[in-house]
Chain A
Amino acid sequence: MKLCIDIEKRLGDFSLKLNTEISGERVGIFGASGSGKSTLVHLIAGLIKPDAGEIYLDETCLFSSRKKIDLSPEKRRISIVFQQATLFPHLGVKSNLLYGYKRCRPAERRIRPEAIIEVLNLGHLIGRGVNKLSGGEKQRVALGRAVLANPRLLVMDEPLSALDDSLRYQIIPYLRSVSTEFGIPCLFISHSLTEMQLMTERVLVVRDGRLAGISTPDELARTGMATNPRGYLNLLRLDGATQKDGLFHYPWGEGHLIISEGRAGEESLFELSSRDIILFKQHPEAISARNLLECRVAELFDSDGRKGVVLESGGKTLVAEIVRSAAEELGIAPGTMLFAAVKASAFRRLS
């Protein structure tokens, strides 16, 4: 998917002015609340009209004030999953799911309802009314409905922000799977860096209605490490836990990670702040932290006066954060061997 945007839009005191080009199959639009992310989505989907400019999706011109082109929303084939599920309350789950599918030309129906019902695990919900679904179920139906419209672009406008933490990370695998299994390019909008890291490969950063940059989610997390209250968040997908003395031992790199809140038998997603990792030059004799990992420094990066240390062990990496003076004292450079200590309780299980 390639999206070329050169638009201007004024809405009261707020003005959006963007001129950029971004490509990729899972692109993110990142920015704080009020930065213009949702306005941008509405402009791309044709739900509001730019004052001037052009929008191209691949080779198709969606809008051009110069050529006097303004494709109506239904002709753009851009499905949106909103923050709230916005299911049609007068229709059941099945009719909601098939709403876009029925309006899609038969030649464009690549994705079959049976396939999406299976992938999103919706089989047991089909006969229900939409008001009898939980928040997570509603959002899955909304996602299925959007995908079944067989869009050329799937826009997810903060689809997780109305859900609580536990549900949020249960939905993410579904969001990822529809994009990868059905090959639909996806535009993911969020103000959460963690969601960006989990969902996207390229990110367009918007600030006050202007383009603040294009980067990868990892670059974004590194740049914001010093200013983010929780530092750089390492996201770890771990599986194959064994339980010992009430703690979960997960194979990781050349050793194991010992985690308090693990789950045996299935893959889990953990979050670990770069600030919860303590580095030692030599092996400490005795330490209360349950994890002491011998790692090689793969890379160092700067973030507003702090140093990010990328630690590598058996092909796996973790980012630790230290102040510049600590980096000098420890003599850290790429290739240095270090010991990283992490408390078992520092890992936060997301799903």
Chain B
Amino acid sequence: MHLTPEDFSAIALSMKIAVTATALSLPFGFATAWVMVFKRFRGKVLLEVLVNLPLTLPPVVIGYFLLLMLGRNGWIGQALSSVGIELVFTWKAAVLASATVGFPLLVRSIRLGMESIDHQLLQASRSLGAPWYDTLATVILPLSFRGMVAGSSLMFARSLGEFGATIIVAGNIPGLTQTIPLAIYDYASSPTGTAMALSLCIVSIALSVSVLFLHEVIGKKLEHGGKA
């Protein structure tokens, strides 16, 4: 197995993007899941469709929409540009792409965790003097922890593999925005790149297995902790 300095840079960037996208999405994912599980309001179905849309849309479509919004002529892009922030073709755009594509997976896992919480625990908490935000922090949050861990690992793994949206909105610039899948794509397009592509594939598999393994271990620990 042979890895070039560019490959190491792609691995580091992939990790950085996946960690940032997951960390940034977690509070929003928790809030969205909470709203979907515990709140009743008109337009809830619309919210569900919007949250789950990235699961069914081709990532390239998502990337293209992000590009339209974040580009110089896009309404978000213009606003950011006026305060000196450029996102398109930077690693931050790759974070946004990964966050958008992985968000439904995160919300879905947290939601499953929240749905398994006995509603009477929340009623008990409220009747024992806790305002809604206290119940959220002291009952819902700790009891959703397993769902959050599961969702974060899924989202992290999905971010590591993100390709379509990233290449459109962040490009494929070695050392700047080139992640593992984009580097593999480059090697696969070159007649002499098979060995290099395979090396990165092995790294990719190792990373995914590690994430899933960690996910299982933490899940088991939390399960045993819950039974203490």
**Chain A residues within CB distance 8 Å of chain B:** 42, 45-47, 72-74, 76-80, 82, 84, 86, 88-90, 99-100, 103-104, 129, 131-132, 145-146, 149
Contacts and interface: CB of A to CB of B under 8 A. Distances in A.
B214 interface: no
B20 interface: no
Contacts of B128: 74, 79, 99-100, 103, 145-146, 149
A34 to B, nearest CB: 18
A47 B125 contact: no
Q: State which size class the interface on B falls in.
A: 20 to 34
Given A45-B123, A89-B121, A90-B226, 8 more contacts: A45-B127, A46-B126, A74-B128, A76-B127, A79-B127, A80-B124, A82-B124, A149-B129
B116 to A, nearest CB: 11
A149 B129 CA distance: 7
A43 to B, nearest CB: 12
10 contacts: A72-B126, A72-B132, A74-B129, A82-B123, A88-B125, A89-B226, A99-B125, A99-B130, A99-B138, A131-B226
Contact of A47 (B121, B127, B129, B131): B127
B228 to A, nearest CB: 4
A73 B122 CA distance: 11
Nearest to B131: A74
Contacts of A103: 128-130, 134
Nearest to B222: A90
B124 A77 contact: no
Nearest to A148: B128
B118 A86 contact: yes
B42 interface: no
Contacts, number: 71
A297 to B, nearest CB: 48
A215 B19 CA distance: 65
Q: Which of A78, A80, A89, A131 has the most CB of B within 10 A?
A: A89
A88 B121 contact: yes
Given A89-B143, A89-B226, A90-B142, A80 B129 contact: no
Interface in B108-155: 118, 120-121, 123-132, 134, 138-139, 142-143
Given A90-B143, A131-B228, A82 B120 contact: yes
Given A86-B120, A90-B142, A90-B143, A80 B227 contact: no
A76 B126 CA distance: 10
A213 to B, nearest CB: 28
A145 B124 CA distance: 10
Nearest to A128: B228
Contacts of A104: 129
Contacts of A76: 127
A88 B130 contact: no
Contacts of B124: 80, 82, 86, 88
A89 B125 CA distance: 12
Contacts of A149: 127-129
A132 B227 CA distance: 8
Contacts of A77: 129
Contacts of B134: 74, 103
Nearest to B134: A103
Nearest to B129: A103
* Closest 4 A/B residue pairs (Cβ): A100-B128, A103-B129, A73-B126, A129-B228
Contacts of A82: 120, 123-124
B221 to A, nearest CB: 14
A321 B123 CA distance: 44
